[in-house]
Homo-oligomer: A and B are copies of this chain.
């Protein structure tokens, strides 16, 4: 009885996806589909496919029925049907069935290939707000022309402007350097010198911002700005070095920003999600999710979700899909999270450890309430 009620509540819950990107525009061929369903930058080795994976199996299991196909449909048949329906209809169906009430859309990665926040919202009757990626703003500032002496002021001004309607900021220092960065803010002279070096390197074609001094300067400018600050942590593509993504490497930084009243949102965190839970436990300003890891671990996502529900306080956990590209990712983020939460919390109720009412309440907090509180979102009507 409690199990059925929990299932119904979780099923009906309008989620806040607090870290997501736009769904892809345009049709996907097999290569594009395979490429969209892996964090690898390369084709699978001969004799294998990226779709022989938990994510690939989850697409065939859970997305196929949304396209009127039987569960476990083979990839080629799935893609044929996808093409037959057309990408706008497929995206509409998958996003709508995800049941997300509000998307917080991070717009800093290949924004021209994907739907805008407004389009995401319109596609499925949700609302949307923006999360601004610090490094992209800096790269835009450089592309628009600035000198070393003017970089810091110009960056701060453009960030203020871009963030005016945003609800959060995002750092990818985990990719560009690692979380083992110097916890103190760099001085103005260091920033100017680092900007000079980077602006010169840009003239030789290296546009990507990876200078550790500048990355830290962006972070601290973000902290000054005051919006919740999201960090990529852990599982992601081959650009990162995993052992440098342990979020406890950021402990010194977390201590230094504690009095700034800026919520720090640790994203994904796999396989360091227990460490992230510890940080969320001891530091009042730290929050976490297992976003991308839920999608990519498919049938195992309930184990991963359960591990986040150990020492992390329930008021500090959020839901995200981190979907980018194929709308299957946005869909599965929500579907797998719902299934995981229903199974995990339901089991604790069944064992007599939790009350059914608490299970319902925690599912609502993690799926929506915590994000609404931290980002200051309006309650849905």
Contacts and interface: CB of A to CB of B under 8 A. Distances in A.
Interface of A: 38-45, 47-50, 52-54, 57-58, 61, 71-72, 235, 237-238, 241-243, 246, 248-249, 251-252, 255, 270-271, 274-275, 278-279, 281-285, 293, 296-300, 303-304, 306-307, 309-311, 313-316, 348, 351-355, 357-358, 362, 365, 370, 373
B282 A310 contact: no
A316 B48 contact: yes
- Each complex incorporates copies of this chain amounting to 3
A248 B238 contact: no
Contacts of A270: 274, 311
Given A54-B309, A58-B353, A72-B358, 15 more contacts: A44-B313, A52-B362, A54-B311, A71-B352, A238-B255, A241-B252, A242-B278, A243-B251, A243-B275, A271-B275, A271-B278, A298-B353, A299-B348, A299-B351, A303-B310
A306 B302 CA distance: 12
Closest 7 CB pairs of A and B: A48-B315, A242-B248, A271-B274, A238-B282, A299-B353, A72-B355, A243-B248
A282 B246 CA distance: 18
Given A38-B281, A309-B300, A53 B314 contact: yes
A142 to B, nearest CB: 26
A71 B300 CA distance: 31
A264 to B, nearest CB: 12
Contact of A41 (B71, B282, B299): B282
A285 B251 contact: no
A241 B237 contact: no
Contacts of A241: 248, 251-252
A47 B315 CA distance: 8
A332 to B, nearest CB: 12
A72 B352 CA distance: 10
A108 to B, nearest CB: 21
B39 A235 contact: no
A241 to B, nearest CB: 5
Contact of A57 (B38, B311, B358, B365): B358
Nearest to A254: B238
Given A300-B306, A313-B53, A355 B48 contact: no
Given A52-B313, A278-B235, A355 B71 contact: yes
B310 A54 contact: yes
A261 to B, nearest CB: 9
A229 to B, nearest CB: 15
24 contacts: A40-B282, A40-B284, A47-B315, A49-B315, A50-B313, A53-B313, A54-B310, A57-B353, A57-B354, A61-B355, A72-B357, A237-B282, A241-B251, A241-B252, A242-B275, A242-B279, A270-B311, A271-B274, A271-B278, A296-B310, A299-B353, A300-B306, A300-B310, A303-B310
